Structure 1
């Protein structure tokens, strides 16, 4: 009789261990599924951020090129204005020389 009780207890203990293991497995599977979902969401976020980064780099490159083009144009305008100022200064000097010559002739 004692052997039968021991066998019954062992069977009950084994059944309880099996149920606990099955529950642990179910919990592990659920955790694995949750982690897989988190990983998928993280990968999607990384992909989105990579796209945004590429778009920003492209925008910044375009911005820099535009600014460089604007700077080049401003330099050309400044050089042209310097030439005009030099021409006007030369014209003023010629006119001063003519005025001085006319004053000398008048005197």
Structure 2
């Protein structure tokens, strides 16, 4: 009795384990491509949002610091009141309303 050659065994296993011959599923491939494109677009939009959010948060923080410094200036002390924040709430409200209208305009 002769042992089968190793190459014969490899060829037999390759033939048995090979996927069946059939045409590709174009619909599935298109769906996967669309999903990849949508995920990339979402990642870009998310990155733009966080970059914009960080910039605008820094800008609002700088404006609040400027309002605090202005409200503690001797020239504006009568307008600021005892707590040094008398000017800040109305000006902050104007700033937030402007910020909101800018966001709606972009959408």
TM-score by length of 1: 0.48
Kindly indicate whether structure 1 or structure 2 has the higher relative contact order, using CA contacts under 8 Å at least 6 residues apart. 2
TM-score by length of 2: 0.48
Larger helix share, 1 or 2: 1
